[in-house]
Amino acid sequence: MAKGLHRLSLERPIYECEDRIVELEGRTTSIDEQEELRRLRRDVVEMKKRIFRELSPWETVEVARHPDRPKTSDYLSLVFDEFVELHGDRSFGDDRAMLTGFAKLDQYKVLVVGHQKGKTLAERQACHFGCAHPEGYRKSMGKMRLAAKFGLPVICLIDTPGAYPGIGAEERGQSLVIADSMFLMATLPVPIVCVVIGEGGSGGALGIGLGDKIAVLEHAYYSVISPEGCAGILWKSADYKAEAAKSLRFRSKDLVEFDVIDSVIEEPLGGAHRDPRQMAVRLKTFLVRTLRELVAKPTNELLATRYTKFRQMGQVLERSPEGLKPSKP
Amino acid sequence: MARGDIKTTSDPDNGDKWPPIAAFSQTAHTTDSESSDTVKKPVSEETAKLKRPARASGKKRGVPEGLWQMCQGCQATIFRKEAEQLLNVCPQCGYHWYVSAADRITQLLDAGTFEEWNAHLEPTDPLGFIDKKPYADRLKAEQKRTGLRDAALTGTGMIRARRVAVGVTDSAFIMGSMGSVVGERLARLIERATLEKLPLIIISASGGGARMHEGILSLMQMAKVSAALALYSRSGGLYISVITNPTMGGVAASFASLGDLIFAEPRALIGFAGPRTIKATIRVELPKGFQTSEFLLEHGFIDRIVDRKDLKSEIARVIDYCRG
């Protein structure tokens, strides 16, 4: 139960409690200790509920970045029945930070596109910690065109701190590929479902984030800029990341409030990393339900709805003789 | 240029008429004046005379406000009027200086043909964002300082008698960053250009990318404007993107990169991640000329580098190829 190699400081009371439970369970106990065990088992549930209900914005970022949090590769084996990986952008290389391939989901054949962060240090480095290069977005665009040609719905799993900032990335057109990818996805004639499973970092996330339904896992975040980046620019020091995290309003409940996502997928008690299987079941349920709804729609209607969905995002005021009032396009 | 005229060309007109430039040059002066004195360029007799009274009066160090400006390209101190006559291009090194959105429209369109669209849209503070000061206060201060309501102007006008839809972002307003108003004005511009079958020109000067202060809503403007451009393109519309100094982040990664034709002004800073971010990530010195227009041209991402003085005729010329 209390395995967890990586323990966040916010989880410490939970782990302490669970360690004690394990200790008590492992030996014949006195009546007092049995009473304690019962109490602890009850308390630990309450404690998890409370801690995860009251996560601060910065703590949410920590949970979203938890090393044990299920990644795209975990969901590929837990949610989908089969995965046929397709490599390469046919132009420069095969970006390991972007996984693409055919997959089966219930009765649906789909194309999956997802950021990949890697598990071991070597994998993480090969994936640049989930930061895709231009060839990653070229790869995803190429496979999406393929999906469109053969009528396969596209599922995008978003989990990136941001698109890679480096010399090669700039030389190969990082900004251009992100723009191009949104341009392509805006009119791609198949259903697109996007789920932010961990970090939704800025343009790197949005680069595979334009779809018919957008969902966010409960403790994931989706932001215009990383809290560290924001703190560095506006506070001139990354030490203010917690303040920046608070100001940016990027948690799932904020995203609902601002009308930029369709659904929040609830995480198991204590976060997705405590029970990846349960998380996968919930994700699968969401995906199947959403696909059922989307594949039934005629393409024209699908694309019109997709356009309107993004067209309505934003908040502006309209000046008129009566004064300023909120405007909707 | 007669040097004797210097004292009579003066502050009142640039103070009132061109608030963005005045504000911009002021900051440039205070930071640059010391170094230009000591190192960069031998100072002429007249320049030296002009400077002394200003320093003696104990107010600002450096030259009288707004008359001279240090060129960021060659570090020479340039007589502003001279640069203004060249559309704010340095007469010595050809470096393209800041141009306000309003001036840009004057430079680009036939005189008196601009009609602004959606000027009535105003920014708000959806997040209640606070950094060192509240975003609501920052907006008011920027509006007062620049005379703009937000970082983009959009509308229609004529380029050598060709009607076009035109959008311009202004880097003086919160780094020209795109929040909801910029996104909404551009989306409406693109939709109207689609309906009226107008060629579309967007000139970007947005070092700030997507505006942090409006959070996720700013990020979504990238999707919104890109989606509008996708429909415009499907309808057969011609979009010419003109990238100017500086254009970074979410603006570079959306509409600025989506032109059927992409022009850039010489030596503009253009890129996705800021040079400081890249340096901090990879911990190596960045190559010289990294993320400039010339760098992008070399790597195949822009069609032409166009001098400011030629921009109008170049745009008119390519419109005729595509729509003539």
Q: What is the pLDDT of residue A191?
A: 98
Low pLDDT (below 50) residues in chain A? 1-2
- Distance from A69 to chain B by nearest Cα, in Å? 23
Nearest to A31 by CA among A39, A22, A19, A42: A39
Are A147 and A111 spatial neighbours (Cβ–Cβ below 8 Å)?
A: yes
Q: What is the pLDDT of residues A124-170, one digit of tens each?
A: 999 999 999 999 999 999 999 999 999 999 999 999 999 999 999 99
The residue of chain B nearest to residue A229, with distances taken between CA atoms, is B277
Determine contact: A122 vs chain B, CB below 8 A: no
Residue B132 has pLDDT above 60, yes or no: yes
What's the gap between Cα B19 and its chain centre?
14
Fold of B98-323: 2-enoyl-CoA Hydratase; Chain A, domain 1 (3.90.226)
* Contact call for A313 and B231, based on CB within 8 A: no
A contacts of B183 (beta carbons < 8 Å): 314
- Distance from B118 to chain A by nearest Cα, in Å? 9
**Closest Cβ opposite residue B184 in set A235, A260, A329:** A329
In angstroms, how far is the first alpha carbon of chain B from the final one? 41
* Contact call for A174 and B253, based on CB within 8 A: yes
Determine contact: A175 vs chain B, CB below 8 A: yes
Determine contact: A92 vs chain B, CB below 8 A: no
Q: What is the pLDDT of residue B64?
A: 57
* Contact call for A170 and B278, based on CB within 8 A: yes
Q: Which position has the higher pLDDT, B69 or B43?
A: B69
- Distance from A191 to chain B by nearest Cα, in Å? 16
Tokens representing B89 are 């291009």
Q: What is the pLDDT of residue B67?
A: 87
Q: How confident is the model at residue B28 (pLDDT cuts 50, 70, 90)?
A: very low
* Contact call for B127 and A233, based on CB within 8 A: no
Q: What is the pLDDT of residue A84?
A: 97
* Contact call for A254 and B216, based on CB within 8 A: yes
B contacts of A243 (beta carbons < 8 Å): 131
How does the average pLDDT of chain B come out, rounded? 84
Q: What is the pLDDT of residue A122?
A: 93
- Distance from B137 to chain A by nearest Cα, in Å? 15
Fold of A61-311: 2-enoyl-CoA Hydratase; Chain A, domain 1 (3.90.226)
* Contact call for A224 and B290, based on CB within 8 A: no
Determine contact: A224 vs chain B, CB below 8 A: yes
* Contact call for B187 and A311, based on CB within 8 A: yes
Q: What is the ipTM of this complex?
A: 0.95
Are A293 and A240 spatial neighbours (Cβ–Cβ below 8 Å)?
A: no
Q: Which amino acid is at A269?
A: L
* Contact call for B224 and A310, based on CB within 8 A: yes
Q: Which position has the higher pLDDT, B204 or B66?
A: B204
* Contact call for A173 and B223, based on CB within 8 A: no
Give kind and range of the element (H or E) at residue B102. Answer: helix B101-108
Q: What is the pLDDT of residue A329?
A: 52
Residue B122 has pLDDT above 70, yes or no: yes
Are B78 and B36 spatial neighbours (Cβ–Cβ below 8 Å)?
A: no
Per-domain boundaries in chain B: 66-97, 98-323
* Contact call for A170 and B290, based on CB within 8 A: yes
Q: Which amino acid is at A184?
A: L
Q: How confident is the model at residue B15 (pLDDT cuts 50, 70, 90)?
A: very low
Exposure b/e, B191-227, CB count within 10 A at least 16 = b: bbbbeeebbbbbbbbbbbbbbbbbbbbbbbbbbbbbb
Residue B5 has pLDDT above 60, yes or no: no
* Contact call for A318 and B122, based on CB within 8 A: yes
Distances (CA, A) of B281 to A164, A167, B61, B286: 9, 10, 38, 11
Mean pLDDT of B207-229: 97
B contacts of A311 (beta carbons < 8 Å): 187, 224, 227-228
Give the whole-angstrom CA distance, residue A137 versus residue A256.
27
Q: What is the pLDDT of residue A4?
A: 61
Kindly calculate the radius of gyration of chain A based on its CA atoms and give it in whole angstroms: 22
- Distance from A231 to chain B by nearest Cα, in Å? 8
Determine contact: A202 vs chain B, CB below 8 A: yes
pLDDT exceeding 90 applies to what percent of chain B? 69
Exposure b/e, A262-301, CB count within 10 A at least 16 = b: bbbbebbebbbbbbbeebbebbbebbeebbeebeeeeeee
State the best of B117, B127, B226, B302 to mutate against chain A, taking most chain A CBs within 10 Å.
B226
Q: What is the pLDDT of residues B85-102, one digit of tens each?
A: 999 999 999 999 999 999
Residue B55 has pLDDT above 50, yes or no: no
A contacts of B290 (beta carbons < 8 Å): 167, 170
Determine contact: A61 vs chain B, CB below 8 A: no
* Contact call for B257 and A324, based on CB within 8 A: no
Q: How confident is the model at residue B270 (pLDDT cuts 50, 70, 90)?
A: very high
- Distance from A132 to chain B by nearest Cα, in Å? 13
Q: What is the pLDDT of residue B65?
A: 63
Side-chain half-sphere of B293: how many Cα atoms within 13 Å? 22
Strand ranges in chain B using DSSP code E only, listed in sequence order: 68-70, 77-79, 115-116, 121-123, 152-159, 162-169, 200-204, 239-243, 261-264, 304-305
Q: What is the pLDDT of residue B62?
A: 53
